[in-house]
Chain A
Amino acid sequence: MLLHDTALIYGRCLRQSLRSRFALLFGLLMPMLYLLFFGPLLTGLPLGGRGSSWQVLVPGLLLQLGLFGASFAGFAIIIEKGHGVVDRMRVTPVSRLALLLGRVLRDATVFVFQAVLLVLAAVAMGLRAPLAGVLIGFVFVALLTVSLAALSYALAMRMGTPQGFGPAINALTMPSMLLSGLMLPMTLGPAWLDALSHLMPLRYLVDAVRDAYVGAYATGHMLLGSLVATGFALLAVTVGTRVFRTAGA
């Protein structure tokens, strides 16, 4: 039943997304601008890692796409709540977990699709990376979007108004971006900043995808990144389901 219900909600959400080509591509704008106007600045700089500067930057941009896209997913449910759609679904026998999973899987689909376009553009700009590493990168984008979208929906269900939700998400995403070394590796910075950034779960995902992009798969970064990404996704979906089950007022 969970599978049936999840597929049903996923299908409905995906059809909603496909209806708006604009929304489907809008999330690409910011990482694409970074790729075009920030990427070329790095090509001659010593970034410390193996490989080219593109192999450092593109993993960061992929996760940036997931971070900023999925964190704002909750806006959609505030609108749906306003239309009464969420309650109308919650009075049916449909699985509460499916109401969340269908939505976050739709988000993962949309953002992985955008990530594919971003990587194609990066290849045109000069990125060269092993295919397996690129595919691993997409898996991390999917896990990150599942986690962040689930938490975003949970927060949106609790807060209820876009006036409160927008600033809250902004306050959370900006430090996440700066402290996880999305743009430049944190190892370039002073020791205190590097240490601080290890408190940010996203840091471990960035390190793992950067390793994948230079073809280093059996590394400590990869193990840690996989564990953090999976653990974070499980925790986020658990929290989200609890909220969907009990959300009343």
Chain B
Amino acid sequence: MARHGSSIISTSTTRRHTEGIMDETPRTLPRQSATFTNEINSEIRRAAATGIYDIRGGGAKRRVPHFDDLLFLGASISRYPLEGYRETCDTRVTLGTRFASKPIELDIPVTIAGMSFGALSGPAKEALGRGATAAGTSTTTGDGGMTEEERGHSKMLVYQYLPSRYGMNPDDLRRADAIEIVVGQGAKPGGGGMLLGQKISDRVAEMRNLPKGIDQRSACRHPDWTGPDDLEIKILELREITNWEKPVYIKIGGARPYFDTTLAVKAGADVVVLDGMQGGTAATQDVFIEHVGQPTLACIRPAVQALQDLGMHREVQLVVSGGIRHGADTAKALALGADAVAIGTAALVALGDNDPRWEEEYQALGTTTGAYDDWHEGRDPAGITTQDPDLAARFDPVAGGRRLANYLRVMTLEAQTIARACGKNHLHNLEPEDLCALTLEASAMTGVPLTGTNWVPGQGGF
């Protein structure tokens, strides 16, 4: 803003003088607040107009320390590499070796995370089964029970045991290949499922024993156990019902990974599934997604440490999920000590979610390719996160399954490429010593030295 030079100059002089200054003095740019951003202000206006919190799908969108903050060192004089296309790099993984008489044998260490029928259409669930089966891995049910589409098309199907117990029955329990007791989820550790009225179709309502069209908010706690001691007995019951055949997974959100992993092992888990805050959900409050839970990267080391402290690393397998996007993320998670990873959001993108071909329709919904996250509304242009028969008909489960299989194979090839470069003949031979950290945060979280140093914050030395 231009200022008057002196208060004793006459009005006409002032004008001339001011005009002179105005000509020469640049105007300051309008300054946007870093605190009250346009995005924040638009949310305040939305809240004021509607009187309800913002609900959306997906995981945390904020920038958090992630696998991008780690790099592989590659081979050198002290480590020799393996030939890219000639020397084997094994990718197989067995989950559930601790107690189950029929562990799950996967060809690749990338599984499909739990996503419900209800959140997704029947054909989308079918496509997940088709793609996972073609790539030699497992898929997982969700909060809504097991559908014929996914059982029929999934060679290996993990059946989630959730607080709501929608659709839970002993026959499906027995025809599952593994049981996943869901305690928490990375997008909302401490929150229950949510499926709004638009998606409660006749079929979804029947599977969940609910009236059609209601806003369904699942319980956040299991109805018949509360702590690790009860959980141990619950696992005993499930094993007795299924003849001790099925691996029992326990899925936890990224809350207190060291203690939660310890208690899951104590309760008798065969497998711990650890989901960080970038892990997606079908629908939850935005404030929950963005402000509760820890980043995936920060959760792995404490969980692996817990397994090591108990002498159970590799005996109880660790599956990590939440923001896994490609073979490099997979390789980094494995190098930090995971046995496998799970993908949800990435699998949906492979099926066709947020594809630019629907840009015009995303615009009509007030969003754009890549940002579409109103999955709870059931108006998905790609026909994946919907129960609308017309929209769902846009999605071809055979083609979708093929795309997912391709993508899973690419992820595996990428991870193998990195592992061979590090001289490893099995993805599980990747280790923290193959990594360096680009940032202090990532170094402190993972215990991997900061690049160019042998220093880990909190561990001394430089």
Question: Does A pair with B?
Answer: no
